[in-house]
Amino acid sequence: MAKRGGFPGGMPGNMNNLMKQAQRMQKQMEESQKELEEKEFTASAGGGAVEVTVSGKKLVTKVKLSEEVVDPDDIEMLEDLIMAATNEAFRQVEEEASSSMTKLTGGMGGLGGGFGF
């Protein structure tokens, strides 16, 4: 008579291997996240007149403005340039995070969702 429950065909060993792989992947994701947080991403707008640097933690770490872009009569342009450079720098962070996750998961869909990458 067959046993009910359990995993027929030696499944517990396979389950242990799967758990070990998941733990390795989790450790790799944590290391990848830490590496990302230590990186900086710089983007510019207005032909380099505005430059914004952000960390992998998504914090603005530096804003550099060329004197010629500071026009008291056109504050809106400066605001737009700062916003454009900042958004581009954040886009670079997201691209790097996505690329790192794809390398870890081998392109397997659904893995890594909700891991803060």
pLDDT at position 1 over 60: no
| Interval 69-91: pLDDT, tens | 999 999 999 999 999 999 999 99
Q: Whole-angstrom Cα distance, residue 110 to residue 29?
A: 14
- pTM for this model (two decimals): 0.69
| Interval 27-48: pLDDT, tens | 988 988 899 999 999 999 999 9
